[in-house]
Amino acid sequence: MQNIRLIARLDVKAPNLIKGIHLEGLRKLGDPGDFARRYYHDGVDEIIYIDTMASLYERNTIIDLISKTAENVFIPITVGGGVRSVNDARTLLRSGADKVAVNTAALKRPELITEISRVFGSQCVVLSIQAKQQDGGWEAYGDNGRERSGIDVIEWAAKGAKLGAGEILVTSIDREGTRQGFDLPLLQAITGSLNIPVIASGGMGALDHLVVAVKEGGADAVAMAHVLHYQELELTDIRRHAVSANLNVRICT
Amino acid sequence: MSRVALIDYDRGNLLSVERALSYSGADVDITDDPDRVATAERVVLPGVGAFGDAMDGLRERGLIGPIRQFVASGRPFLGVCVGMQLMFNEGEEFGTHEGLGLLPGRVVAIPAKAADGSNQKIPHIGWNKLCPTRCDDFQGNALLGGIGNTPYTYFVHSFMALPSDKTDRVADCDYNGINICAAVNRNNIWGCQFHPEKSGEVGLRILQNFITMGWQN
């Protein structure tokens, strides 16, 4: 088994870290860079920044954030939110991001995935899918959970992998912020059909949720937000629990 | 301060490597100038992307000769990720391509099937533990000494090096029962398949070791 990664997901509405439930009802929590640095020192494996208000004009604050973070956080940093072109990707990668996550723009124009991966490599491209339960399956949403696409999540994930995505970040809108565990059927459906790594997001609440997401859901990594930002769980405890459950995780001393 | 030439051939996560080297105390010269490379005190060759394309990048800039010249001088040279892969004779990504030939061996795709026959996830992404291959531990190793008892580093790659000479292997990691060559060394030539600039404190220690290691002229 590949090493399971523990990832911190920080939703940013510059200059603040924010948190919500079902991607709504947002609360400001402070400087995202401070949180990222703390998680780095606590042993998190990767950081994901999602710029929730990315617009064509206001990207400077997220660029500053990435630059500052990259100065002393030496683990992979993924940035998503409003990535619409190869140039957007280039700007973020130049500021210090190691990978870019695409969602809305890719739903509208799937070729974007191939374009970015051709220039920067598949390992730089994460396809971010926001999934909501619909008619026995799941529908992909764009615009940070606000816009229905009519596209089936499982088919979209498979297509994204074919087009050149290096990883899939799948967020359950239904479970996001609820701390009730991950959407297991969603994970099983996606991981069962793909040969690229899948990062599970949305629902982490108790230590065992992570174990279930990996052992039963087949996730290769778990992205956590609420439990970390509100200090309900500590990274050291999460990692220790994963080790005791015989998951292949990095051992940090 | 140690002067390190960081080769810029438009194929690599240059800024990440530069930041980590600077943080570790180096005076970093980002350059594609053949003279500055040939006469640097130490050289780091980063690299992300395809082998053949990366070699094209070096060839277009007239850097292949200067790199070989630098290595012949005996001063410390470090290849990172694709930079390490390029050090070998040839790579098989998108056809067969000639490498720098600094170390005998080739670069092949990570097998699609694990040791037990199940499907592997490709690329190999994530943290993996470095296991010493030359001796029982890394103590005393010029690059990997002092990285502690749980040396995990960050990997992201789809191809792996197969050194022809087993003694060139310094560290391996295990990927579903498959031995992946994680670090190599012969004299002043060093290579890391993983990204030390993305491997937290363990990675920073490795870079610090590279910046301070001595050499024989």
pLDDT in tens, A122-170: 989 999 999 999 999 999 999 888 899 999 999 999 999 999 999 999 9
Interface with A, mutate which of B82, B125, B153 (most A CBs under 10 A): B125
Check whether B13 has a pLDDT greater than 80: no
10-residue mean pLDDT series, chain A (253 residues): 89 85 74 96 97 72 90 96 93 91 96 93 94 96 91 98 96 92 97 94 95 96 94 95 95 80
Query: In the structure, what pLDDT confidence band is assigned to residue B149 with cuts at 50, 70 and 90?
Result: confident
Average pLDDT over residues B120-141: 91
Please judge whether A253 and B149 are an interchain contact, meaning their C-beta atoms are less than 8 angstroms apart. Answer: yes
Q: State the nearest Cα–Cα gap between A93 and chain B, in angstroms.
A: 8
- Is residue B197 part of the annotated active site? The answer reads yes
DSSP 8-state symbol, B158: S
Q: State the nearest Cα–Cα gap between B193 and chain A, in angstroms.
A: 14
Q: State the nearest Cα–Cα gap between A25 and chain B, in angstroms.
A: 33
Check whether B132 has a pLDDT greater than 60: yes
CA B48 to chain centroid, in Å, comes to 11
Number of Cβ atoms within 10 Å of the Cβ of A146: 11
Contacts of B116 in chain A (CB under 8 A): none
pTM of the model: 0.93
Q: In this predicted structure, what is the pLDDT of residue B43?
A: 98
Q: In this predicted structure, what is the pLDDT of residue A57?
A: 59
DSSP assignments along chain A, one per residue:
-PPBEEEEEEEEETTEEEEEETTEEEEEEE-HHHHHHHHHHTT-SEEEEEETT--SS--HHHHHHHHHHHHH--S-EEEESS--SHHHHHHHHHHT-SEEEE-HHHHH-THHHHHHHHHH-GGGEEEEEEEEEETTEEEEEETTTTEEEEEEHHHHHHHHHHHT-SEEEEEETTTTTT-S---HHHHHHHHHT-SS-EEEES---SHHHHHHHHHTT--SEEEE-HHHHTTSS-HHHHHHHHHHTT--B----
CB A23 within 8 Å of CB A145: yes
Identify residues of B whose CB sits under 8 angstroms from chain A CBs: 13, 15-16, 19-20, 23, 48-50, 119-129, 148-150, 152, 154, 156-158, 175-176, 197-201, 203-204
Q: In this predicted structure, what is the pLDDT of residue B2?
A: 76
Q: What is the pLDDT of residues B185-201, one digit of tens each?
A: 999 999 999 999 999 99
Interface ipTM: 0.91
Q: What is the pLDDT of residues A62-72, one digit of tens each?
A: 899 999 999 99
Q: In this predicted structure, what is the pLDDT of residue B123?
A: 86
Average pLDDT over residues B140-147: 94
Virtual torsion, Cα A42, A235, A99, B11, nearest 10 deg = 40
Indicate the residue of A72, A249, A251 with minimum beta-carbon distance to B23. Answer: A72
C-alpha span between B50 and B10 (Å, rounded): 12
Please state, in angstroms and as integers, the Cα–Cα distance from residue B215 to each residue in B77, B187, B212, following that order.
Answer: 10, 9, 10
Q: State the nearest Cα–Cα gap between B72 and chain A, in angstroms.
A: 32
What lies within 8 Å, CB to CB, of A38 at 6+ separation is none
Please judge whether B121 and A94 are an interchain contact, meaning their C-beta atoms are less than 8 angstroms apart. Answer: no
- Give the burial class of A153: count Cβ atoms within 10 A of its Cβ; 0-12 exposed, 13-18 middle, 19 or more buried: buried
Q: For chains A and B, what is the number of CB pairs under 8 angstroms? A: 93
Higher pLDDT, B119 or B63: B63
Q: In this predicted structure, what is the pLDDT of residue B70?
A: 96
Rg for chain B (alpha carbons), in Å? 16
Q: In this predicted structure, what is the pLDDT of residue A56?
A: 54
Active-site pick, B41, B81, B97, B192: B81
Contacts of A1 in chain B (CB under 8 A): 176
